[in-house]
């Protein structure tokens, strides 16, 4: 058993192959989070195996064909003609304290990781590199017949990769390493089998208690929010708080992690989104006599304050981690714990009903996690250019209804902000026209974690009578209220020149 466990403990990750086909995006999200719980009737059963315990050893392998462990009571039940069941769900096809790459039978894939070791953005970096490398390899396969002397498309991985299943560096056909799959056998005593069986039963309770629902909101996304001069992350946070207030008439503690990796050993700081401004916003939205202008003003004030607190948290000026560290140090040194840590304020602060997190990029469709308190919601979200995607989980709460409340709240915000107005940039031609909420072609100014700035629609740019299509790049950033008087193409990048500024090293072409 020791050698088998050492193989697993020393692995960088575990590849999980699920014989499971999700029927919906909700099933897929739940399977990636905790696996499925499926009890099946055992028809072929050997009551004499393992001294009266019918034990399917496949439960200790990384396949989910069968997961069964029987006690003597099960044997007696089978002999009496009662139904015998075994756990056939994918919840047993996991090694939960490892980084797991999960692949379902339909090809859908995801990553499950234990949070104490790494943060979401660490796993996101891993997923992004894997996804990007697959895109690069596909692009190289397309251009393979075109470029005979080296492909100009760079690889995502700088290190030289030698596939051990093909051969070693000397070109020998013999494998450098034996990559054939091998079964890990465990020697289990009866007492340990009973504990595994009881653990599986407890796991089944936890899986059945969880309810996961996916909301894929497609009316607008980052582009629309930034064009209205608000932070996308702040608007999403306010939508979650507003949805809870819409459903329950109350505001509760909300948690959002903010990265502090700019510092040595930095991980996250806790950002509390339920601020005084957020509470006033909820009251304003709930007031049937409040005008649209009053609601927009309250939304802007709450998002502006949220953006400020996010920035402060990213700079190490939060309070949660600091206070918690002081409490831990006092406990470790046997010091007297200050009365503050027994106060109602500290208790409410640490009872996070709305645990939220923003983690995603084009490589991910969904990101989610479970609630951190029994009466809470776990809300993971991914903000994209023209959509916002939520994965919401709870235990015995109305998850689907809460997701619909979030959807209604976002729809209301979109209706209040109305259609976008952006500038079409052309040679001697500056005009305004409506832009749909789902239009992704936009330049925006973004900050760390928080995204805030003006937008400008980069459509058809004409240079000296020659029509060219400009693609959105990350630099330069130009406010939407800037009048553009010239364009110049330097180093294969379109540069925009402002009328009321001096651009050093940039030439303004003749206005012909």
Q: State the pLDDT at residue 66.
A: 43
Query: d(Cα 189, Cα 84) in Å, to the nearest integer?
Result: 22
Q: State the pLDDT at residue 86.
A: 87
Rounded mean pLDDT, 139-153? 81
- Tokens of residue 131, six digits: 């996804």
Q: State the pLDDT at residue 157.
A: 74
- Tokens of residue 329, six digits: 């140090």
Q: State the pLDDT at residue 471.
A: 35
- Tokens of residue 449, six digits: 């974690």
Task: Report residue 464 CA to chain centroid gap.
Answer: 45
Query: d(Cα 351, Cα 349) in Å, to the nearest integer?
Result: 6
Q: List phi, psi (to 5°) of 377.
A: -120, 140
| More reliable by pLDDT, 320 or 500 | 320
Per-residue model confidence as pLDDT tens digits over 84-118: 888 899 999 999 889 999 999 999 999 999 988 88
Q: State the pLDDT at residue 149.
A: 75
- Tokens of residue 461, six digits: 């740019």
pLDDT band for position 58 (cuts 50, 70, 90): very low
> Helix, strand, or coil here: 61?
coil
* pLDDT greater than 80 at residue 391: yes
> Helix, strand, or coil here: 461?
strand
Q: Where are the alpha helices (DSSP H) in 63-113?
A: 72-79
Q: State the pLDDT at residue 215.
A: 97
pLDDT band for position 432 (cuts 50, 70, 90): very low
> Residue 369 in contact with residue 378, Cβ under 8 Å?
yes
Residue 181: count of CB within 10 angstroms of its CB: 6
Query: d(Cα 423, Cα 156) in Å, to the nearest integer?
Result: 36
Q: List phi, psi (to 5°) of 196.
A: -65, -40
> What residues pair up with 355 in beta bridges, in sequence order?
255, 378
Considering the chain, what is the average pLDDT of its residues? 78
> Residue 471 in contact with residue 460, Cβ under 8 Å?
no
pLDDT band for position 362 (cuts 50, 70, 90): confident
Residue among 230, 231, 273, 270 at smallest CA distance from 251? 273
pLDDT band for position 503 (cuts 50, 70, 90): very low
Q: Which residues are catalytic?
A: 115
Per-residue model confidence as pLDDT tens digits over 437-485: 554 433 333 333 433 333 333 333 333 333 333 333 333 333 444 333 3
What size, in residues, is the chain?
512
| More reliable by pLDDT, 154 or 401 | 401
> Residue 91 in contact with residue 101, Cβ under 8 Å?
no
The DSSP result for 157-188, as a single string, is --S----TTT--TT--SS-SS--S--PPP---
Query: d(Cα 495, Cα 250) in Å, to the nearest integer?
Result: 49
Rounded mean pLDDT, 123-150? 86
Question: Radius of gyration of the chain from Cα atoms?
Answer: 28
| More reliable by pLDDT, 415 or 64 | 415
Q: State the pLDDT at residue 296.
A: 96
Query: d(Cα 339, Cα 113) in Å, to the nearest integer?
Result: 36
Half-sphere exposure of 339 (CA within 13 A, CB side): 0
pTM above threshold 0.95: no
Task: Report residue 447 CA to chain centroid gap.
Answer: 19
Q: Where are the alpha helices (DSSP H) in 249-384?
A: 276-286, 292-314, 320-332, 344-349
- Tokens of residue 385, six digits: 């250019």
* pLDDT greater than 50 at residue 500: no
> Residue 184 in contact with residue 60, Cβ under 8 Å?
yes
Rounded mean pLDDT, 287-310? 96
- Tokens of residue 21, six digits: 């086909």
pLDDT band for position 217 (cuts 50, 70, 90): very high
SS3 per-residue string spanning 427-460: CCEEEEEEECCCCCCCEEEECCCCEEEEEECCCE
Enclosing H/E stretch for 216: strand 210-217
Query: d(Cα 226, Cα 453) in Å, to the nearest integer?
Result: 6
- Per the listing, tokens 């909300």 go with 254
Pairing state of beta strands 100-103 and 14-17? parallel
Q: Where are the alpha helices (DSSP H) in 343-398?
A: 344-349
Query: d(Cα 220, Cα 41) in Å, to the nearest integer?
Result: 47
Rounded mean pLDDT, 288-315? 95
Rounded mean pLDDT, 69-95? 71
pLDDT band for position 77 (cuts 50, 70, 90): low
């Amino acid at each position: 058993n020791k050698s088998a466990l050492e193989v697993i403990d020393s692995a960088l990750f575990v590849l999980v192959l699920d014989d499971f086909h999700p029927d919906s995006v909700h099933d897929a999200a739940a399977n990636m989070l905790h696996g499925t719980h499926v009890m099946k009737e055992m028809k072929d059963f050997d009551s004499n195996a393992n001294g009266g315990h019918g034990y399917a050893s496949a439960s200790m392998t990384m396949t989910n064909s069968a997961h069964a462990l029987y006690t003597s009571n099960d044997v007696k039940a089978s002999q009496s003609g009662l139904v015998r069941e075994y756990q056939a769900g994918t919840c047993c096809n996991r090694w939960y304290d490892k980084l797991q790459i999960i692949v379902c039978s339909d090809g859908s894939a995801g990553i499950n990781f234990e949070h104490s070791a790494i943060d979401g953005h660490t796993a996101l970096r891993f997923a992004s590199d894997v996804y990007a490398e697959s895109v690069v390899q596909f692009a190289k396969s397309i251009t393979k017949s075109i470029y005979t002397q080296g492909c100009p498309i760079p690889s995502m991985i700088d290190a030289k990769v030698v596939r051990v299943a093909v051969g070693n560096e000397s070109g020998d056909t013999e494998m450098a390493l034996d990559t054939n799959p091998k079964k890990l056998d465990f020697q289990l005593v009866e007492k340990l089998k009973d504990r595994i069986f009881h653990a599986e039963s407890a796991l089944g309770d936890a899986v059945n208690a969880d309810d996961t629902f996916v909301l894929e909101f497609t009316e607008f996304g980052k582009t629309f929010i930034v064009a209205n001069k608000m932070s996308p992350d702040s608007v999403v946070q306010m939508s979650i708080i507003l949805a809870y207030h819409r459903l329950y008439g109350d505001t509760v503690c909300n948690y959002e992690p903010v990265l502090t990796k700019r510092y040595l050993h930095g991980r996250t700081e806790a950002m509390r989104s339920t601020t005084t401004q957020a509470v006033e916003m909820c009251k304003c939205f709930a007031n049937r006599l409040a005008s649209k202008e009053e609601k927009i003003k309250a939304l802007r004030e709450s998002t502006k304050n949220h953006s400020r607190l996010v920035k402060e948290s990213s700079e190490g000026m939060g309070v949660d981690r600091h206070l918690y560290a002081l409490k831990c140090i006092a406990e470790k040194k046997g010091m007297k714990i200050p009365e503050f840590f027994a106060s109602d304020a500290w208790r409410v602060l640490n009872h996070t009903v709305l645990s939220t997190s923003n983690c995603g990029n084009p490589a991910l469709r969904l990101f989610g996690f479970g609630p951190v308190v029994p009466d809470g919601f776990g809300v993971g979200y991914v903000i994209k250019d023209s959509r916002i995607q939520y994965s919401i989980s709870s235990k015995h709460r109305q998850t689907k209804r809460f997701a619909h409340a979030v959807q209604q709240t976002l729809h209301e915000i979109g209706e209040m902000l109305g259609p976008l107005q952006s500038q079409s940039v052309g040679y001697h031609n500056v005009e305004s026209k409506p832009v749909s909420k789902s239009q992704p072609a936009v330049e925006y100014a973004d900050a760390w974690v928080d995204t805030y700035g003006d937008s400008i629609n980069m459509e058809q740019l004409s240079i000296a009578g020659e029509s060219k299509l400009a693609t959105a790049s990350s630099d330069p950033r130009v406010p939407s209220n800037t009048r553009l008087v010239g364009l110049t193409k330097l180093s294969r990048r379109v540069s925009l020149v402002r009328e009321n500024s001096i651009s050093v090293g940039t030439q303004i072409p003749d206005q012909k």
